[in-house]
Amino acid sequence: MVHPILMPKPGQMTEECVLVAWHKSEGDPVHRGDVLFEIETDKSVMDVEAFDEGVLLRRLVEEGETVPVNAVCAYVGAPGEAIPDAPPPIAPVAPAAPDATAAAARPASAAPAPSTDAAVRLRISPRAARLAADAGLDPRTFTGTGPEGRVVERDVRAAMAARDTATAEPMRAGSAQAEPAAAVVPAAGGEEEPRPLSRMRRVIAQRLTESVTTIPHFTVTVAVDVTRLLALRQELKAAGRSYTVTDFILLATAQTLAEMPDVNSRTDGVSVWTRRRVHLGLAVTVPTGLLVPVIRDADRLTIDEIHRKAAALAAAARDGTLQADDISGSTFTVSNLGMFGVEEFSAIINPGEAAILAVASAVLTPVVIGEGIAVRSIMKLTLSADHRLVDGELGARFLGALRRRLEDAASLRREVAGA
């Protein structure tokens, strides 16, 4: 029996994927669990496995093509078995602003590809494609040094270095007033030539626009005295147990959400679902945008487990190796900009959640204690909440409970001892 192989839908908001590389050729045997091809979404690169046995009868999609989810990419069946005469067509995807991988096949500055564009299809790794798009370079002009002539990251970096050298050459020739190289000539008004938004940036724009236009946001801020927390962290670090401030915030947030499940709920504007399991999203900055990997059942984890999971997910996000399950299903998100010297900020709610926590830097601040003044490390926490689900009182009580946990060094010490 012939089985169609469909482009999967890795995430709720994913509508298209790029088929990056085939791992099977036509006629190759296929076993259940074999990797058929590799795809790139707006958030990660992942393998697509076979669920049926047989041989690969026909490949309908070329490497580098952007394909709608659920479109037929190939057929698997018995050797010599006939495939459908008219397979479902794959609708061409032509977004207004091509992403990094699409730009690899058809750069924004080029004219629309002719019907014979198979002659100019490009083999390029996802990392190289993103880097080329960010640098404003056309990877079709590169000589690939990867397997089978594939353009890889080092090829793009070599092209960037060559461009930078060419740009600097007039200045080395002694002309202080030399014009910049053509590749970086500013457009009218002093602006540089535009470059397309990456796929990830387009999805971020879509989701956050949806959030701010459909969710009634309000914010509440508290100041947390983390002096004892920071002292405990340094003490543990000296003893060989290194935790981040984020680890403690994630632990305290998960426990507070378990205590106040209404802040862990979701709504479609008509009904409300209160979720008893706490799946914490952790905002991680990557070169092409922002990812939110998920720590599942965080309220049931020790500080050691949270530390290991957070570190592993953050590393996978930056390496581009997150899987679909790693970035879906969060019930609440934490965004920490404390390492960047931010004194206070508010974040936009991730659609499908009731709130998001924005964590700022710990700042040395004079504080009135009794009748005296002391210098303490003060950190601002801001909760952005969906007013349909969380009112001001609940938001304030949530932050108050979270502050008590973070300021209670004795309880935190017991958490560490029991980890």
**Active site (catalytic) residues:** 387
Rounded Cα–Cα distance for residues 410 and 206 (Å):
44
The sign of the CA dihedral 81, 84, 85, 88 is negative
Residue 30, classed as helix, strand or coil, is strand
**Tokens encoding 185:** 């000539």
Q: Which helix (H) or strand (E) holds 402?
A: helix 392-407
Straight-line distance from the first to the last Cα atom of the chain, in angstroms, rounded to the nearest whole number: 53
Return the number of other C-beta atoms located less than 10 Å from residue 137's C-beta. 20
| Long-range contacts, 274-280 (Cβ 8 Å, 24+) | 275/331, 277/331, 278/254, 278/331, 278/332, 279/329, 279/330, 279/331, 279/332, 280/250, 280/253, 280/254, 280/330, 280/331, 280/332, 280/333, 280/334
AA identity, residue 418: G
Rounded Cα–Cα distance for residues 397 and 256 (Å):
10
